[in-house]
């Protein structure tokens, strides 16, 4: 099980994400008011809190949302779960659709640190069932995938 450490959104693409205490997840869309939400396979991005903190400990001056992640979650190493994995948080159901993503023309973090962790640590998901998510909520790995198909 994991814990939601941060929920982050941005109003406009290409701008830094900022923290919110509660997110409304919309089925087939993503997080309400997030510029990256839409009818596509990368509706929500997730990043391991532990990988984030390891990167920060190496001297990176970063804050939550710096990698463009929507959910920063402790307790899971997301890149180890295959596409199709289901996670739940309350009534919200997320299905992993992509692992990693190439940085567009190297982000600001890459220029400062010489690397970015999102291309190999971040994962993307689609919202199968919507609802509210709060910082501190528990994220669970769902074992019965067929229930949602």
For residue 25, what pLDDT is reported? 98
Which value, to the nearest 10 degrees, does the dihedral of the CA atoms of residues 13, 53, 44, 81 take?
140
Give domain limits for the chain: 2-140
Give the global pTM.
0.89
CA atoms within 13 A on the CB side of 70: 27
Which residues on adjacent β-strands are paired with residue 149?
none
What percent of the chain stands above pLDDT 70? 84
Q: Which two tokens stand for residue 110?
A: 């890459």
Tens-place pLDDT, residues 62-116:
889 988 899 999 999 999 999 999 999 999 999 999 998 766 555 555 545 556 6
The pair of three-digit structure tokens given for residue 122, joined into one six-digit string: 């971040």
Distance of CA 65 to the CA centre of its chain: 9
Task: Say how far apart CA 42 and CA 28 lie, in whole Å.
Answer: 10
Residue range 2-140 in CATH 2.40.33.20 = yes
**pLDDT tens sequence across 13-47:** 877 789 999 999 999 999 999 999 999 999 999 99
Would you state the pLDDT for residue 115? 63
For residue 99, give both structure tokens: 């692992």
Q: Which residue has the tokens 């701008």?
A: 15
* 140 has pLDDT over 90: yes
């Amino acid at each position: 099980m994991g814990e939601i450490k941060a929920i982050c959104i941005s109003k406009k693409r290409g701008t830094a994400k900022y923290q919110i205490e509660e997110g409304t997840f919309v089925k087939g869309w993503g997080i309400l008011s997030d510029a990256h939400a839409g009818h596509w396979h990368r509706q929500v991005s997730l990043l391991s809190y532990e990988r984030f903190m390891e990167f920060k400990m190496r001297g990176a001056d970063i804050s939550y949302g710096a990698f463009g992640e929507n959910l920063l979650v402790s307790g899971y190493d997301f890149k180890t779960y295959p596409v199709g994995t289901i996670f739940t948080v309350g009534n919200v159901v997320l299905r992993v659709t992509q692992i990693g993503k190439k940085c567009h023309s190297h982000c600001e973090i890459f220029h400062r640190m010489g690397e970015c962790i999102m291309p190999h640590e971040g994962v993307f998901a689609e919202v199968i069932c919507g609802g509210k998510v709060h910082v501190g909520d528990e994220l669970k790995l769902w074992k019965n995938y067929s229930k949602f198909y």
